[in-house]
Amino acid sequence: MAGVGLLPNLANAREGVEVGKASAFAKFVPAEELEGSARQQYQQLLQKANKQNALAPETNPQVIRLRDIAQRIIPHSYEWNPRAKTWKWEINLIDSNQVNAFCMPGGKIVFFSGILKKLELTDDEVAMVMGHEVAHALREHARERMAKSIATEGATRIGAAIISGLFGIDPRVTDLVAHGGANLLTLKFRREDETEADLVGMELGARAGFDPRAGISLWNKMSANNTSAPREWMSTHPAGSSRIHEMQANMDKVLPLYQKTIPVQTIK
């Protein structure tokens, strides 16, 4: 009879990936400050792109495509971070050869046209990229990294370590970050953060009706495209057989979520 007591817990077990609790370090950097600064810097990035005629208009087919995919993914983000319900989500496309995409704290998403064109991404693969980047924001990896930098490196070194335009920041280090001259595309999360973003991103995509197996084909494309360009998406998201293996190992947790979204076909 002792085993019977376990049944309710098994019945209520959460479907999807398991990545543990969010880091307690993130609490040392106010979310409101981080998201507010990210919002301001996001607008600056868009304004700069617009001046260079690089900001794709709302009527651009790829912008429409990206926003349609985002609208399917975003509702599934709330479980991972309650703050996501209050975020003013935005997604824009910048014309650039860079194979790059990111999601700032607060749900500010940018895709560069290079990642769509060079990799010839399917909708499922776009969803895996988007899910991965959104997962970084949901799991507050940037906020965690800032807090750890403040704690271990000291405020005087924050500017050189933080990516300009990506992070919101504690008011005490605002000036240091503003004058740090850091570059958005040089951001490197911990390998654990990347693995977590891969898995959470697959789940977000799967729940939104995108095939999570596209994560494997995406990384195969990324590996084939990697030509040691230091400022491209691949350089800040280390891939390899171990990374693909991790996704494959968790596929049985996310594939059923995707299959549930497929309409049952009537047998004639």
| Position with higher pLDDT, 161 vs 218 | 218
**pLDDT tier at 258, thresholds 50, 70, 90:** very high
| Position with higher pLDDT, 198 vs 232 | 198
**pLDDT tier at 170, thresholds 50, 70, 90:** very low
pLDDT average, residue stretch 113-131:
97
Greatest mean pLDDT among 15-19, 132-136, 234-238, 262-266 lies in: 132-136
Q: What pLDDT is stored for residue 174 in this prediction? A: 43
| Position with higher pLDDT, 87 vs 5 | 87
| Position with higher pLDDT, 175 vs 210 | 210
d(CA 158, CA 149): 7
Does the pLDDT at position 167 exceed 70? no
- How do strand 108-112 and strand 90-94 relate by DSSP bridges? parallel
Q: How much is the mean pLDDT over the chain?
A: 79
Does the pLDDT at position 171 exceed 50? no
pLDDT average, residue stretch 222-241:
58
Lowest mean pLDDT among 52-66, 69-83, 152-166, 244-258: 152-166
Residue 71 token pair: 């609208």
Catalytic residues: 133
Residue 255 token pair: 């594939």
* Residue position matching structure tokens 């997604």: 91
| Position with higher pLDDT, 154 vs 66 | 66
Would you kindly state where each structural domain of the chain is located, as residue ranges? 25-259
Q: Calculate what percentage of the chain has a pLDDT beyond 90.
A: 50
Q: What pLDDT is stored for residue 222 in this prediction? A: 86
Residue 43: which of 92, 96, 79 has the closest Cα? Answer: 92
pLDDT average, residue stretch 199-207:
97
| Full-model pTM | 0.79
Lowest mean pLDDT among 18-27, 153-162, 212-221, 242-251: 153-162
Q: What pLDDT is stored for residue 12 in this prediction? A: 55
Residue 238: which of 160, 145, 230 has the closest Cα? Answer: 230
Q: What pLDDT is stored for residue 30 in this prediction? A: 81
